[in-house]
């Protein structure tokens, strides 16, 4: 089909290898997941449970909630990967950078979020008669799962546990009190909105930091295209600089000459962007060799005295 040839199905924007090859596949997965969850919610045969004195109720509810939290942990992994490793902008305050891929990403995560929501509603519809103590005990038991998955990432674990508890408690209360659809939607939208906002902000900042580190490593190499381009723009200005030419009109460069010329170059030319680099200025005559520890050298030439001010950029 031609639709699979569009950029939506390109791995450039997002890919989890064979698991989820592209953003388009993630959207299809979300649609299918919601369809399955709807069928499960309406037609899956689970009998309404009545509270008994045995331990069976504790085990029954705990197992069901563990299943729900496993689904939520899987969702958290997909969601974090989507924000962290994709080339899609999810920062809503950058309105001009949002595009069809951002909208598709948001739609996918909202559709996938409905899976644990429908699952929890189905569970709590069938345990209306359970006491609060049994429900709370089962919730605590189910928290073992996110601890096992994210124990090494407290920045993910703590918000996820809070979100899970709020989601479960709000679903439980909504079911017991028979709240209308509008009220349920408002409550769940608020809880999920805060959850999305928090992780999108944190993960986007982390992604930006990692990109800056990569750029810093790139800038620190000897062959930096951007730095070389800026240097090419500097040389014509330096050659026309009469003040710099006058400083170079000496027979021999002494310590004062070196400091004066170096300070002049750093104050007038190697500012702003160049503060990210280590700039070393060397003064020499035309007949001296130009080799500085393997660094590429750039020079200003005074045609009258054939003397050079060289900058080694590293």
Q: Are residues 207 and 245 in the same domain?
A: no
pTM over 0.75: no
Instruction: Specify the pLDDT at position 308.
Output: 42
- How many domains are there within the chain? 2
Residues of the chain above pLDDT 70, percent: 79
Structure tokens at 175: 């079911």
Domain limit, last residue, from 219, 252, 287: 219
Q: Are residues 165 and 259 in the same domain?
A: no
DSSP alpha helices (H): ranges in the chain?
Answer: 23-43, 56-85, 100-125, 132-142, 144-150, 154-177, 181-219, 225-239, 242-248, 255-268
Q: Are residues 291 and 148 in the same domain?
A: no
Starting at the edge strand found earlier in the chain, the sheet holding 307-313 runs: 279-285, 307-313, 297-302
Q: Are residues 53 and 86 in the same domain?
A: yes
Q: Are residues 215 and 231 in the same domain?
A: no
Instruction: Decide if pLDDT at 288 tops 80.
Output: no
With both helix axes pointing from N to C terminus, report the angle between 100-125 and 154-177 in degrees, rounded to the nearest 10: 50
Domain housing 173: 2-219
Q: Are residues 15 and 87 in the same domain?
A: yes
* CA atoms of 192 and 167, how far apart (whole Å): 8
Structure tokens at 208: 């930006």
What pairs with residue 20 in β-bridges?
16
Q: Are residues 163 and 14 in the same domain?
A: yes
Q: Are residues 97 and 205 in the same domain?
A: yes
* CA atoms of 172 and 300, how far apart (whole Å): 76
Instruction: Decide if pLDDT at 297 tops 60.
Output: no
Domain limit, last residue, from 219, 235, 254: 219
Q: Are residues 250 and 174 in the same domain?
A: no
Instruction: Specify the pLDDT at position 274.
Output: 72
Categorize the per-residue pLDDT at 287 as very low, low, confident or very high, splitting at 50, 70 and 90.
Answer: low
CB atoms within 10 A of CB 238: 19
Rounded to the nearest 5 degrees, what angle is found at the Cα of 30, between the Cα atoms of 29 and 36?
90
Rounded to the nearest 5 degrees, what angle is found at the Cα of 28, between the Cα atoms of 111 and 22?
110
What pairs with residue 311 in β-bridges?
281, 298
Tell me: the pLDDT tens digits for 239-260? 788 888 888 777 777 788 888 8
Q: Are residues 196 and 254 in the same domain?
A: no
CB atoms within 10 A of CB 190: 12
Domain limit, last residue, from 177, 195, 219: 219
Task: Measure Cα distances from 281 to 85, 219, 240, 257, 266 in Å.
Answer: 41, 19, 19, 12, 9
271 or 120, greater pLDDT: 120
Q: Are residues 48 and 186 in the same domain?
A: yes
Q: Are residues 137 and 272 in the same domain?
A: no
Q: Give the strand pairing for 279-285 and 297-302.
A: unpaired
Q: Name which of 52, 73, 83 is nearest 201 in CA terms.
A: 83
Tell me: the pLDDT tens digits for 152-211? 999 899 999 999 999 999 999 988 888 888 888 899 999 999 999 999 999 888 888 877
* CA atoms of 225 and 218, how far apart (whole Å): 9
């Amino acid at each position: 089909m031609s639709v699979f040839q569009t950029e939506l199905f390109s791995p450039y924007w997002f890919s989890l290898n064979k698991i989820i090859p592209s953003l388009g596949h993630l959207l299809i997965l979300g649609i299918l997941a919601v369809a399955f969850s709807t069928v499960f919610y309406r037609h899956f045969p689970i009998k309404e449970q009545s509270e008994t004195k045995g331990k069976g109720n504790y085990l029954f509810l705990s197992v069901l909630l563990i299943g729900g939290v496993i689904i939520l942990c899987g969702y958290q992994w997909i969601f974090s990967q989507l924000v962290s490793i994709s080339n899609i902008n999810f920062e809503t305050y950058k309105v001009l950078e949002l595009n069809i891929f951002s909208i598709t990403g948001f739609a996918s995560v909202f559709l996938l979020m409905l899976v644990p929501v429908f699952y929890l509603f189905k569970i709590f519809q069938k345990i209306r008669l359970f006491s609060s103590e049994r429900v709370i005990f089962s919730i605590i038991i189910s928290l073992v799962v996110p601890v096992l998955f994210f124990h090494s990432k407290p920045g993910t674990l703590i918000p996820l546990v809070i979100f899970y508890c709020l989601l479960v408690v709000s679903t439980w209360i909504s079911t017991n009190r028979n709240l209308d659809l509008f009220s349920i939607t408002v409550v769940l939208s608020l809880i999920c909105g805060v959850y999305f906002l928090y992780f999108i902000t944190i993960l986007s900042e982390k992604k930006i930091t990692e990109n800056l580190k990569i750029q810093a490593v790139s800038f620190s190499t000897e062959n930096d295209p951007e730095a070389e381009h800026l240097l090419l723009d500097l040389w014509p200005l330096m050659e026309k600089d009469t003040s710099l030419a006058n400083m170079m009109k000496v027979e021999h460069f002494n310590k004062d000459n070196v400091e004066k010329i170096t300070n002049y170059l750093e104050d007038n030319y190697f500012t702003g962007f160049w503060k990210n680099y280590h700039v070393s200025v060397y003064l020499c005559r035309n007949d001296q060799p130009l080799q500085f520890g393997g660094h590429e050298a750039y020079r200003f030439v005074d045609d009258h005295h054939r003397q050079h001010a060289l900058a080694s950029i590293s």
